[in-house]
Amino acid sequence: MSKVNRDEILSILDGYSREDITVATLGSHTSLHILNGAKQEGFRTAVVCEKGREVPYQRFRVADEFIIVDKFSDIVNEDVQDRLRSMNSIIVPHGSFVAYAGLDHIENDFYVPMFGNRDILRWESERDLERKLMKEAGIRIPLKYTDPAEIDRPVMVKFPGARGGRGYFVASSTEEFNDKIDSMIERGWITEDDVDDAHIEEYVSGTNFCIHYFYSIMNDEVELMGMDSRFESNTDGLVRIPARDQLEIKLDPSYVITGNHPVAMRESLLPQAFDMGDRMVEAASKIVPPGMNGPFCLQTMCTDNLEIVTFEMSARTDGGTNTFMHGSTYSYLLHGEGMSMGRRVAREIKVASETDRLAEIIT
Ligand code: AMP
């Protein structure tokens, strides 16, 4: 398969009526503020929605057009793409869009102009590419172990794919690693085949900050838009039990994200947060052009030496942006009230459209 041809995307965009653009996305993940923000900036909105999942988009009145599909992955079907193009749609990607449309389709045959960099989506999905980008940026990431026999300190063990933290575990020795692998296989959370793909990294003990940035091509500036921290089941529940009882009940921790809450970081850490965002944008523009245009997120732990360590990144709107649909502590400083990530995306599209620069923010 050949890659989506940029000239063809630009010619589709050329055929769009600039006064009549639709902001479209898949109805899931962060679509509420993507659509709501687009309406606030004066766009028509469309949601591609799995049958039976329409209610939030109807009840919150965020979508003007509904494209109902049998299953989310139908968003890549020719007829759906046709409808999106006929509405002059610019698609805004998010985590569920990437998961359901699939990277191969997004890269090879999804001919709808997309906000941001469609090529960078693979870099956040594949752990080795993700680490390469973060290394290039020179930000602090957890140490990686290539062999379980080398485990010499607490490590976190992860498996590929979007499992939402299920099956992750912490171990402090090779023996403990082997025991826990056996227990995970027994529960059916992983298979024997997964074991070779286990990703073993230094366990960073600290507090969680997921830092949401927006890189504006229009202003050539990295904006700090918000921060959240995660609710994770069952580990959050587990730590509410006294240590003695934790040992007794023999529950294995899991890290399934169940929600997000907004947080503010100690002010003296903000220079570090800005520096990390700037570095990521610079590295991405070098190794995955056109770079990190639009929303991205660094998922971090801050240690007690006040070092921020990034264990994961998203190169598109991250789920934690749902904590600031009405604006955040940080987006307020730059934009005043009511600036969600979705609205920020729409604002960028609006400015680009008005100044005839849409081609710069679309892939
Ligand atoms: P992830 O799927 O990589 O986003 O990880 C899910 C959760 O596991 C995170 O939100 C953290 O609570 C925890 N976690 C992931 N990596 C590490 C790490 N290297 N050290 C400590 N905790 C981690």
Domains of the chain: residue spans and CATH: 6-114 (3.40.50.20), 125-139+205-337 (3.30.470.20), 144-201 (3.30.1490.20)
Q: For position 246, what pLDDT does the model report? A: 86
Burial of 340 (0-12, 13-18, 19+ CB in 10 A): buried
C-beta 167 within 6 A of ligand 1: no
C-beta 320 within 6 A of ligand 1: no
Residues in the chain: 363
Q: Which of 134, 199, 311, 314 to mutate to test the pocket of ligand 1 (most atoms within 8 A of CB)?
A: 311
C-beta 230 within 6 A of ligand 1: yes
Residue 39: how many CB atoms within 10 A of its CB? Answer: 18
The minimum-distance atom of ligand 1 relative to the CA of 203 is 20
Q: For position 5, what pLDDT does the model report? A: 94
- Atom 9 of ligand 1, residue of closest alpha carbon: 255
The DSSP H or E segment spanning 23 is strand 22-26
DSSP label at 20? G
260 alpha carbon to ligand 1 midpoint, in Å? 14
Q: For position 162, what pLDDT does the model report? A: 47
C-beta 207 within 6 A of ligand 1: no
Q: Which residues of the chain fall below pLDDT 70?
A: 1-2, 161-164
The minimum-distance atom of ligand 1 relative to the CA of 309 is 19
C-beta 255 within 6 A of ligand 1: yes
C-beta 168 within 6 A of ligand 1: yes
Residue 356: how many CB atoms within 10 A of its CB? Answer: 9
C-beta 344 within 6 A of ligand 1: no
C-beta 282 within 6 A of ligand 1: no
- Atom 4 of ligand 1, residue of closest alpha carbon: 312
- Atom 12 of ligand 1, residue of closest alpha carbon: 255
CA-CA distances (angstroms) from residue 353 to 132, 289, 317, 348? 34, 21, 21, 8
- Atom 13 of ligand 1, residue of closest alpha carbon: 255
The minimum-distance atom of ligand 1 relative to the CA of 168 is 8
- Atom 6 of ligand 1, residue of closest alpha carbon: 165
311 alpha carbon to ligand 1 midpoint, in Å? 6
Q: Is 210 helix (H, G, I), strand (E, B) or coil?
A: strand
C-beta 169 within 6 A of ligand 1: no
C-beta 203 within 6 A of ligand 1: yes
Q: For position 206, what pLDDT does the model report? A: 96
C-beta 165 within 6 A of ligand 1: yes
157 alpha carbon to ligand 1 midpoint, in Å? 9
- Atom 3 of ligand 1, residue of closest alpha carbon: 312
**What would the two tokens of residue 182 be?**
């056996």
Residue 286: how many CB atoms within 10 A of its CB? Answer: 12
Burial of 85 (0-12, 13-18, 19+ CB in 10 A): middle
13 alpha carbon to ligand 1 midpoint, in Å? 39
